Structure 1
């Protein structure tokens, strides 16, 4: 790995910078009212299906977001590490990968594969938020796009709790429907640490650090915007 460029005089120390990033945890979507109802077992089957279909639109965008980062990143070491994320989601062949596992969840809650893939249930708010995220990754400096993915720092505990709560409160969901969560739990902690390392190593000025914090805040808003759209629809709002 190439040696890091020295920090500029006004830059935060690595520990201070990391603390600024972690301080955004309250903006993560784990505290969104829709997620709270999901974990409490208060969603109807229809609401679970709407959530799964809209979350699919986000899942299918992740490899395109990661490909945009690769196309903008001049650092070969980062590219080597980052391309594994695309493989994880897309798989090496048809029928494999995280996206396929999410489709299995959608089927387990009662959706057909066809209605998920044709996106008939995707709400305008979901589409707007997710498309904005892909555009951000394509048009902003690559390290800001990487920083936007630091929601991984907050996701492992939420994912473990979701798996336990969904098994408890929605026993009608077949176990194979949880393949996405069980597989993701095995990689998200390591991915989160490697992402922090990349961002800290490459943000050497205060301006770069502030841009990275803003990028993570933006990603939190994207995720909450997706749930806002689903929650509003479930409450009877027009789409």
Structure 2
């Protein structure tokens, strides 16, 4: 076997999973200076409200990107597996779901829900980052679109840190507004387990494996860019 053939040999399933988890560990936005300041308790009320308002623009587009992924899945089994993500964020009835819980977080922090829903104050850099992610899920094949969701691997740990930070450092935010974070601990764990199982099953060639890793790196860039925009204000 030539050196070139060796270099192009597929990683084992364990090696691919290790590489995916390494991307999240190194590049997830838990390391961003804005998130570090949030968890240290040094954000001003205006900075925290700015994050809640702009992050809502991303939250609103989660079920949209999941609907785009859903449309790419070719079997009923896969569509049944994925569709609960839309229900998780949109709810199955008025007043339910992650988007509603984020609106209540905004209210708990002193933001009228009309300000969040209008989108008028969303920063250009945030719009660009979110549009980039939605278009990625629209245009890329299922493997890459699903792999991009694997930032959820770290979400449960981040949610725990965030809840503790809000309770300790931002007591002026009504505790009822933290329901979104609490719900995402179990949802993020389940979602990431489902998604990584699909990626590990679908990515059989070295080229596909590298595309999956690149897709996850791109998603980390999206989240990092969103916080860059929020930090600059």
**TM-score bucket (shorter structure):** over 0.9
Structure with higher helix content: 2
CA-based RMSD of the aligned residues comes to 1.0
Where do 5+ consecutive residues of structure 1 fail to align? 1-8, 234-239
Alpha-carbon distance in structure 1 between the residues aligned to 2:18 and 2:77: 25
Query: Structure 2: any 5+ residue segments left out of the alignment?
Result: 1-7
Aligned 8 A contact 1:78 1:198 in 2 = no
Q: Shift of residue 189 of structure 1?
A: 1.0
Return the alpha-carbon distance in structure 1 between the equivalents of residues 199 and 185 of structure 2.
Answer: 22
Counterpart of 1:221 in structure 2 is 221
Residue by residue over 1:76-130, the C-alpha shift from the partner in whole angstroms, topping out at 9 and shown as x without a partner, is 3221110000000000011100010000001111111111100122100000000
Contact 2:157–2:185 (Cα < 8 Å) also in 1? no
The question of whether the paired residues in 1 share the 8 Å contact of 2:156 and 2:186 is answered with no
Name the counterpart of 1:6.
none
Alignment of 1:1-239 (within 5 A): 10-24=9-23, 25-233=25-233
For the 8 Å contact 2:129–2:222, the answer to whether it is kept is yes
Question: What is the distance in 2 between the residues matched to 1:228 and 1:214?
Answer: 21
* CA distance in 1: counterparts of 2:119 and 2:136, whole angstroms: 22
Query: Is 2:152–2:191's contact at 8 Å kept on the other side of the alignment?
Result: yes
Count residues in correspondence. 225
Aligned partners of 1:121 and 1:41: how far apart in 2? 24
Aligned structure 1 segments of 4 or more residues deviating by more than 6 angstroms? none
Give the alignment's TM-score, normalised by structure 1. 0.92
**Aligned-pair CA distance for 1:181:** 0.7
Following superposition, the deviation at residue 51 of structure 1 comes to: 0.1
- Compute the TM-score of the two structures, normalised by the length of structure 2: 0.94
1:142 to partner: Cα distance: 1.1
Per the alignment, in what secondary structure is the counterpart of residue 72 of structure 1?
A: coil
* In structure 1, distance between residues paired with 2:187 and 2:230: 27
